[in-house]
Amino acid sequence: MSIDAKRVLISSLVYLVIALLLIAIMLPIVWIVVTSFKPESVAKIPSVWVFEPTLDNYRYIASIKPIWKPLADTLIVASSVAVLSLAFGTPAAYALARYEFRGRDDLAFWILTFWMSPPVVFVIPLFLMFDRMGLLDTYVAIVLAHTLGNLPFVIWLMREYIRDVPREVEEAALIDGYSDAQVFARITLPLIKPGLVAVGILAFIFSWIEFLFALVLTTFNVRLLTVEVSSYWTIAGVILGPMTAAITISIIPATIFAFILQKHIVRGLTLGAVKGE
Amino acid sequence: MASVRLVKVRKIFHTPRGEVTAVDDVNLEVRDGEFLVLLGPSGCGKTTTLRMIAGLETPTSGEIYIGDRLVNDLHPKDRDVAMVFQNYALYPHMRVRDIIAFPLKIRKYPQEEIERRVREVAEMLKIEHLLDRRPRELSGGEQQRVALGRAIVRRPKVFLMDEPLSNLDAKLRVVMRAELKKLQKNLGVTTIYVTHDQVEAMTMADRIAVMNKGRIVQLGTPKELFTRPANTFVAGFIGSPPMNMIECSLDEGKNLLDCGALKYRLDPDAGLTLRSKGVTEVILGIRPQHVLIERGKRPDAVAQAPIYVVEPMGTETIVNFKLGETMIRAVIPADIDVEAGEVWNIVFPRDRVYLFDKKSGELVA
């Protein structure tokens, strides 16, 4: 076989694998969106692909079992989680990136181990703690829980962004007249802005899609989308129509943010700070 | 303007592999208005010393004074020093105008004063046309000038420069070397300049402090270091090509140095000095520029040897001889024709020979 033929074969194999992966990932989503437009009579399994589309399911989640409260709650919780994760995570990351102290790398790794352990390990103790404090079914409980869950990756990612800022740029500002806090706020933070946006959006998305903590720590007072969607799974069966409509709605914001994220992952701001980079 | 004084300054770094003494009991006085160069190989402690003066590192022990003021516990911003970094460290998110104005803005200078000074500095450094650009739009040489501008705009007590020319290409480096020296003389600001490049040190410094393994091994004017190196380290570090160093042992009876393939007759005084100090193992040093070579026989020749390699440099020629295990270099005028393989007589003029104690490396005679 010639080299060219080989190359064509390999690249078509690669495309085939990518196509299969995409189908595997996209098929459920397509199915959900399509099902959300089906009338009640055909919105069931096995699926039919020929039907007259209707907005009944969306009318259902707009008025009969309104999705507005869960949508607003999830927005409030996910936004708060994004802000708090950055507010706690960035200074911690700065300390881990910039200050020398005994056991620094061990501490960083220890933080990472939380990200490696299954969330279900933490859900019972958190439930008991919040119960004692009378915080069950409050914004505070779920926001704190999600923030805690996010902190390991926020700290690790922000640490990398901070390390990308040349130390000398901060030192120059120290000598030029800034205090340590001013250097952090006015030199480092502006330079890691792309990182803050990217990591903030990731934190938002993780909170948006989280189910386990939401299920255990919230009920009616605070109602998150993932829990709301699961409530269509009733003792009488799964109410597929409204459920898929709710999922479709809940996918939209996360998708928008994912697109923004793509743009911001490009780093470019520190370019030109230091010769040789 | 101010002097800078270091008293028994020591810096120990704690690393996973144990303690490292980066700076070891350094005493140094930099005079008001002086251009002092800290010269040494990488890892000798010169940059750490500079960073301690800047306040970016805290000394483990010892005292640092700027003027009469003890600055050990003073934040960098309160020390009234300016620093130029090897990689310039310009603020990437600002325009050149704002970068130069930055130290003045922080100190709340009035707006007109800031504008006037930035204009002055930009004129002095010929960067007026770059004021609205960002660092990434500048060449290396231009970034270098902006970094200098940010340092001089405030008229600090002391300039600290950490290898500021080492990222420039060779040609530009020579130009900036001269400009920087002139600038320093015009401004009259005490300057401490770190480099590993002995040519930079020799051409720019009023005085040079040569550092090795965390200590200052010699402090003096460039001329002093060249003509009177205190030890083999300085002798080998300063001068290009480096000084010839030959291991010899003293033959006491004959007042002769036995250096393997070559023999060197001591003058009586030098012999006496060696004996009085009890030095029998010696390192003989002579600069390549001072080695004489002759075709004809000479009674005072240390050896007769074939030329090993000839390196023509244009204005001069470096001739290499191989005597047993030792290489001897001689620098001769380019108009003398030499060829590899030819046998020449090698002469060490007595007044150009340095004798070092092999054990301590110190200059003996």
**Cβ neighbours of A176 in B, within 8 Å:** 77, 82, 102-103, 106, 150, 154
Per-residue pLDDT of chain A (277 residues; tens, 9 = 90+): 677 888 999 999 999 999 999 999 999 999 999 999 998 888 777 877 888 888 989 999 988 889 999 999 999 999 999 999 999 999 999 999 998 888 888 999 999 898 888 888 899 999 999 999 999 999 999 999 999 999 999 999 999 999 989 999 999 999 999 999 999 999 999 999 888 988 998 899 999 999 999 999 998 899 999 999 999 888 888 888 999 999 999 998 888 887 877 766 554 344 444 444 3
Same domain, B208 and B353: no
Q: Is B52 on the interface with A (CB under 8 A)?
A: no
Are residues B201 and B336 located together in one domain of the fold? no
- The nearest alpha carbon in chain A to B158 belongs to A175
B81 touches chain A (CB under 8 A): yes
pLDDT (tens digit per residue) in B103-124: 999 999 999 999 999 999 998 8
A195 within some domain: yes
Chosen for mutation from B14, B53, B88 (greatest number of chain A CBs closer than 10 Å) is B88
The verdict on residue B237 lying in a domain is no
Disruptive mutation site among A164, A165, A167, A175 for chain B (greatest number of B CBs within 10 Å) = A175
Partners of B124 in the beta sheet?
Answer: none
Could you tell me if A98 lies within 8 Å of chain B, comparing CB atoms? no
Report pLDDT digits (tens) over B72-106. 999 999 999 999 999 899 999 899 999 999 999 99
Number of domains chain B is built from = 2
Chain A: residue nearest B167 by CA? Answer: A275
Contact: A171, B56; criterion CB under 8 Å: yes
| pTM of the predicted model as reported, rounded to 2 decimal places | 0.81
pLDDT of residue A265: 59
Q: Which residue of B has its CA nearest to A168?
A: B89
What are the residues whose beta carbons fall under 8 Å from the beta carbon of A225, sequence distance 6 or more?
A67, A70, A71, A73, A74, A208, A246, A250
Q: Looking at chain A, which residue has its C-alpha nearest residue B159?
A: A175
Of B182, B203, B231, which closes a domain? Answer: B231
Residues of A whose CB is below 8 A from B138: 272
Same domain for B284 and B191, yes or no, is no
At B163, is the secondary structure helix, strand, or coil?
coil
8 Å CB contact of A172 and B75: no
Which residue range(s) make up the domain with A252? Answer: 59-264
Q: Which CATH number characterizes residue B160's domain?
A: 3.40.50.300
Distance CA A185, CA A175 (A): 16
Q: Are A39 and A52 in contact (CB under 8 A)?
A: yes
Nearest CA in chain B to A167: B89
Angstroms from A163 CA to nearest CA on chain B:
14
Burial class from Cβ neighbours inside 10 Å (0-12, 13-18, 19+) for residue A141 reads buried
Query: Which pLDDT value is given to residue A276?
Result: 40
Same domain, B220 and B257: no
Question: Judged by CB atoms within 8 Å, which residues 129-188 of B form the interface with A?
Answer: 134-138, 140, 143, 150, 154, 167
Q: Where are the beta strands (DSSP E) in B67-189?
A: 69-70, 81-84, 158-162
> Would you place residue B1 in the very low, low, confident or very high pLDDT band (cuts 50, 70, 90)?
low
Regarding whether B163 and B64 lie in a shared domain, the answer is yes
Query: Does the beta carbon of A201 lie under 8 angstroms from any beta carbon of chain B?
Result: no
Looking at residue B322, which CATH number applies to its domain? 2.40.50.140
User: For residue A190, what is the nearest residue in chain B, using CA coordinates?
Assistant: B93
Residue B239 lies in a domain: no
Positive or negative torsion for Cα A206, A208, A212, A214? positive
Kindly state whether residues B227 and B286 are assigned to the same domain. no
Is the CB of A273 inside 8 Å of chain B's CB atoms? yes
- A173 interfacial to chain B (CB closer than 8 Å): yes
A169–B92 C-beta distance less than 8 A: yes
Q: Do B24 and B131 share a structural domain?
A: yes
Expressed as residue numbers, the domain containing B208 is 4-231
Indicate the SS3 state at residue B304.
strand
Question: Which chain B residue has its CA at the smallest distance from A166's CA?
Answer: B89
Mutate to test the interface with A, among B14, B77, B167 (most CBs of A within 10 A): B77
Q: What is the pLDDT of residues B233-292, one digit of tens each?
A: 999 999 889 999 999 998 877 788 888 888 888 888 888 888 888 888 999 999 999 999
CATH of the domain at A102: 1.10.3720.10
Radius of gyration, alpha carbons of chain A: 24
* % of chain B at pLDDT higher than 90: 68
Same domain, yes or no, for B182 and B225?
A: yes
In b/e form, how buried is each residue of A40-54, taking b as 16+ CB within 10 angstroms? eebbeeeeeeeeeeb
Q: Measured between CA atoms, how close is A201 to chain B, in angstroms?
A: 23
For residue B228, give how far its alpha carbon lies from the nearest alpha carbon of chain A (Å).
37
